[in-house]
Chain A
Amino acid sequence: MDSAGHEPTRRKGIRGLLTARVLEAELSWISSLVLFFSTVYAALNFDILWVAFGITALSLSVLPVVATKDPFKALPWEMTLLLAAPILLHISAGSERLNENVAWWRSLTSLAFAFSLATIGFLLTVELQIFTSIRMNRPFAIFFVVMFTLAVAGFWGIGEFIGDKVWGTDYLGSNYDVMMNFMWTTVGGIAMGIVYYLYLKATPKRRRERLSFMHMWEEASWKKG
């Protein structure tokens, strides 16, 4: 980027740019864009719950970039992808049709929603440590992720229930649907709790250094006081 004029170094620079680092950041930014436009779409439809979801997810994914002023400090792309998936599923008409025709599609969307909630919970545990005085250790953070997933699903259900009553819509479906949704949320939440526990451990060293902010609650050296 900075070595304009020198042909060889520039070529080297371009080759250097096309590394996993750039690709990952790009993927992450693209997912964030999908998330952004889905949120705008939801806002145009006065879909309050999903707008709240989108804004929360967006701010959590942008915060580290803004704070470090480094576009490469974007979240790992797999996380932004998980964040964008459920809202995309929610607004796409194809998914709605599948909801009615394919028996397990509803479960799949529930699961995708649970994954994204757990991801938000995980980002919260990380970013709360960066930006506030809150400190957690690993077991507590995992507990928080699972609990957060369940709790938001619960409040979300209440929100949809109130929406259904006020606007006469039928988002919730039957009691069975809601309970199955909760069941998949629980499964997804616990699974993601375990995944994030292992995830930080399994991240390769180079990637870990690049995304050092992800490892906040892995640091054992922190002491109260």
Chain B
Amino acid sequence: MEERLKLLSRAMQAVLLAIALAGFLTDNLTWVPAAVVSLIITEIPSILRRDLKLVLPVELNFWIVLALFLHVFGGISGFYDNVPGWDHVTHALSSSLIAALGFILVLSVDQYVKAIYLPRRFLGVFIAMFTMAMGVLWELMEFSIDTWTGSHMQYSLDDSMLDLFFDGMAGIAVAMVGAHYLSHTTRDEFLENMGVDKAKEKIVQIVEKRKDK
């Protein structure tokens, strides 16, 4: 299973690279920046693993690649305009991603900041709200880019609100999965498997090195 997910991720990265190259060669530059940026983002987990020894779960890696791939692929193939609901699928995917990353982040905060304690249920509520807040900021970003550059990222009111709706649903889904997950795994185990403790030490080392200079 894990090997297959890794293989699939690689395949999607290859397609992203192909899209970037093809776009450049044929002078269709609209989606080239998005493809390149997506490629760079999909490489971030590998960089984290190399430099900080932080190991994100394979499923999460796959999720990251999938979300970015569907976004760029939907753009280049015209699916955003032609396939109804494509927009909402990518929205739900990317918000669930944000929710998962937020979950890891807030768990780490709970673990390593002495003055903070967040029970399991509160973590669920927190993740749902965090995702929704990010969704609102995202829509605002789309709106301001539309206003400044005259692009059409937002189609209509219904569209923006449905985006938000799917953001919220994805956030609630991840919150429930996360809360369920924590009911049979301790936080220590979860963070240890990812190597968050080692990553934290590495970061402390790096910061101290900077200070010495």
Enumerate chain A interface residues (CB-CB to B < 8 A).
128, 132-137, 140, 144, 146-148, 150-155, 157-158, 161, 172, 174-175, 178-179, 182-183, 185-186, 220, 222-224
Contacts and interface: CB of A to CB of B under 8 A. Distances in A.
B73 interface: no
Given A175-B160, A178-B157, A179-B139, A154 B117 contact: no
Contact of A161 (B118, B139, B165): B165
A52 B177 CA distance: 27
Interface string B150-164: 000010111011001
A181 to B, nearest CB: 10
Interface size class of chain B, counting residues whose CB lies under 8 Å from the partner chain: 20 to 34
B137 interface: yes
B192 to A, nearest CB: 18
Interface stretch (B39-47, B107-115, B198-206): B107-115
B124 interface: no
Contacts of B128: 151
Interface string B95-136: 000000000000001000111111100100010111011011
A152 B125 CA distance: 12
Given A150-B136, A150-B137, A151-B136, A178 B116 contact: no
B178 interface: no
A224 B140 contact: no
Given A158-B168, A178-B157, A151 B115 contact: no
8 contacts: A148-B129, A150-B136, A153-B136, A155-B168, A157-B164, A175-B157, A178-B157, A186-B140
A183 B128 CA distance: 21
B143 interface: yes
Nearest to A219: B115
Given A134-B118, A137-B116, A224-B114, A178 B132 contact: no
A178 B128 CA distance: 21
Given A134-B122, A154-B168, A178-B160, A224 B132 contact: no
Task: For the complex of A and B, list the 4 residue pairs with the smallest distance between their C-beta atoms, beginning with the closest.
Answer: A151-B129, A150-B133, A137-B115, A151-B132
B102 to A, nearest CB: 10
Interface in B70-97: none
Contacts of B133: 146-148, 150-151, 154
A171 B138 CA distance: 22
B140 A183 contact: yes
Nearest to A220: B115
B115 A222 contact: yes
Contacts of A179: 139-140, 143, 154, 160
A111 to B, nearest CB: 15
Q: Which of B118, B119, B126, B133 has the most CB of A within 10 A?
A: B133
Contacts of A136: 115-116, 118
